[in-house]
Amino acid sequence: MASKIINWGVLGAAEIACEQTIPAIQAAPNSRAYAMASRRGVPEALIERFGFATGYGDYDELLADPAVDAVYLPLPNARHAEWTIKAARAGKHVLCEKPAALTSVEARQAIAACEAAGVIYMEAMMYQFHAQHARVRALIDSGAIGDVRGVHVNLTFNLEKSLADFRHGAIETGGGSLYDLGCYCIHTVRSLLGEPDRVASVARFAGPQRAEMSAAVVLGYDTGAKASFDCGMDATGRHAYEVYGTAGVIRLNKAFVPQADGDGPIEIVDHRGRVTHERVTSFQYVNGVAHFADCVINGQTPDYAPADVLANMRVLDACIESASSQRLIKLEKTS
C-alpha cells in the first residue's frame, strides 16, 4: 500500500454496489475498484463498466487474492456477519453494508473477528458522510433552535411489487423495513439525542412470509427528550428528519437518499415562524469510501467506530423485539 491506493474487492453485484458504492470507489482519490466476485460469475459488461482488473465466480477466491486490500460486502442481510468474519480471517479490511448483522450478538462476533485479525471495520451507514448533517449539529450547537426537545424521522419507499426481493422475507431471515431502513432512523436519533432508555414499536406484517413491511417506533429518554420514526417498504418515497427545540425547528427533506448533484437542502424555522433555507453540496458515498480508505492507509479507527455500530444494533434489536412482541422494551444502561 506504499502508493496509498486501496485495492477494493466487491462481494456480489447488488444494486447498491453497482449504482452507488463502486462508482464512489472509482471517484475516491485513494481507492481502486480492483475485483468483483459473483456466484453467477461476473458479467464482462460489469468488468468493463467499472474497470475491474479481474472477476471471480467464488467469494473465497476473491478473499484469497493477495492484491485485495479491502472488501465491500453488499450481500443479503443474513450473510453480513458470516462474510465479515471470513474476510477478516483472510486479512481483508471490511466495509459491510448495513445492517452490520441480524443481531447485536452477531455484530459483536463479526467486529471481534476484525479486531483479532487487525483489520479495519465499518458499517456502510453512508448517509452520515453528507455534510448537511454536520451543518445540522453546528446549528444546534449555535443555539439556532434553543434546547433540543425531540427528533422525528421518515424513511419509506415502495417495494410492494418486488416480491422476489430478499427484503420481503421474514424478520428471522433479515427481511423487513426495520433492518433495511430503521437502522438509518435509529442512527439519526442517536446522533442527535444519544442513547434511548426504552423503545415501543408497532409494525405491519404482510405477504406469504409475513414480511415486516412498515413500522412506527417511539424512543423514550429519561431526560424527557422524545424521538419517533416511521419506516416502510409500502409507501411512496420519504427520506426526511426534523429536530425541534424550544426556539425553532430544523428540517432536512433529502436526508438519506443520495442525490446525483449532492444537493442537501436545510430548512430552519425560528420561534416566530421565520424560515431560512440553506443548501449543502456533498457526496456521501465518495466521502464515506474515502474516509474508510484513509483509515486503512493510516491504521486509524473510522469516525463511525465499531462501538457505535454495536450501540445502533442494540437499539435495532429492541425495535424488532418490540414489533414482534407488541411490548415496551427497556434498554439496559451501557457503561
Spatial distance between the Cα atoms of 295 and 6, rounded to a whole number of angstroms: 11
Out of 86, 98, 226, 333, pick the active-site residue.
Answer: 98
For residue 14, the one-letter residue type is: A
Question: Sheet of 148-158: strands edge to edge?
Answer: 275-281, 263-270, 248-252, 234-245, 148-158, 226-232, 211-220, 198-206, 329-330
Bridge-based pairing of strands 31-37 and 54-56 is parallel
- Which cell goes with 207? 405477504
Q: Backbone dihedral region of 283: left (phi > 0), alpha (psi from -120 to 50 degrees) or beta?
A: beta
Distance CA 157, CA 177 (A): 10
Is residue 259 within 8 A of residue 268, CB to CB? The reply is: no
254 is catalytic: no
Strands (E) located in the chain = 6-11, 31-37, 54-56, 70-73, 93-97, 121-124, 148-158, 198-206, 211-220, 226-232, 234-245, 248-252, 263-270, 275-281, 329-330
Three-state SS for 253?
Answer: coil
Beta-bridge partner residues of 11? 37
Q: Are 95 and 73 in contact (CB under 8 A)?
A: yes
Strand-pairing partners, residue 154, are 230, 240
Q: Is 215 helix (H, G, I), strand (E, B) or coil?
A: strand
Question: So which residues are the catalytic ones?
Answer: 98
